[in-house]
Amino acid sequence: MQTQERDVPQLSPLEDRWLPPAEAAKYLGVEVGTLSKWRLRGKGPAYSAGLGRDPRYQLSELFAYMASKMAANTREAKTIRSEHKAFQGVPYTMRRPARPDRKS
């Protein structure tokens, strides 16, 4: 079952402000370093690079990014994670690998 297109809230020009990486990361619930890695890999929400060294994220772009990652169930969530290149090579489970047998 595919997720249906979600409605992204329409913001007025006064509400649709530009956020620095720290605020955008807090809004998305990720670390600032994660946003930096997404920028380097070409993934994550769109941002403005025209403001010198400090990128800015528009609030409407954060809404659109989060709406594109919506899932109705865990199977869809797993598919979304596996298709996202930022998560490729990352194990799906958070369990630690088994310890090798020790020789005494």
Q: How confident is the model at residue 22 (pLDDT cuts 50, 70, 90)?
A: very high
Contact 35, 44 (CB under 8 A): yes
Alpha carbon distance 40, 36 (integer Å)? 6
The share of the chain scoring above pLDDT 70, in percent, equals 66
Contact 56, 98 (CB under 8 A): no
Alpha carbon distance 88, 17 (integer Å)? 32
Return the top range by mean pLDDT from 1-15, 27-41, 76-90. 27-41
Residue type at position 37 = K
Q: What is the pLDDT of residues 35-71, one digit of tens each?
A: 999 888 888 899 998 767 789 999 888 988 888 888 8
Domains of the chain with bracketed CATH: 18-87 (1.10.10)
